[in-house]
């Protein structure tokens, strides 16, 4: 799941990235002339809704390591979850018996990517490192 639940209509496939940003700006940052913050949020929402595909890995960092899942469904918008800010959702199959993967033996490139500030990042270039982390855990 991802936040920014009050921005409705983002599942409309005809929307461009600029349309996303305008909707985010209008809902969350209407008084800001600079669209930088809206742009950052838009990037996360765009990747979550448009770029994540079935079978892609999902990595969720924790203090001790990270969880690995696989996307098992399309992005959906659940209006009942707007108030706890989790309306944008995807079904995920959690791997590794739903247990965290330790950072100890995880490749350095993967650990660096997990420390990024963005909520949704592309780690498709680290596919082998993710597979390795699954095997060693």
Give tens-digit pLDDT for 66-110: 999 999 999 999 999 999 999 999 999 999 999 999 888 788 999
Cβ burial of 75 (10 Å; 0-12, 13-18, 19+) is: middle
Q: Could you tell me which residue, 112 or 28, shows the higher pLDDT?
A: 28
Q: Around Cβ 104, how many Cβ atoms within 10 Å? A: 9
> For the chain, what are the domain ranges?
57-136
6 or 121: whose pLDDT is higher? Answer: 6
């Amino acid at each position: 799941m991802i936040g920014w639940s009050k921005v409705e209509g983002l599942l409309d496939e005809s929307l461009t990235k600029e349309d996303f940003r305008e909707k985010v700006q209008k809902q969350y940052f209407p008084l800001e002339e600079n669209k930088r913050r809206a742009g950052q949020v838009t990037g996360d929402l765009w990747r979550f809704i448009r770029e994540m595909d079935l079978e892609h890995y999902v990595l969720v960092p924790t203090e001790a390591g990270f969880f690995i899942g696989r996307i098992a469904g399309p992005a959906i918008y659940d209006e009942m979850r707007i108030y706890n800010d989790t309306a944008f959702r995807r079904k995920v199959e959690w791997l590794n018996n739903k247990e965290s993967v330790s950072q100890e033996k995880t490749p350095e490139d993967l650990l660096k990517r997990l420390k990024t500030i963005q909520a949704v990042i592309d780690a498709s270039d680290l596919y082998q490192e993710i597979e390795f982390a699954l095997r060693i855990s």
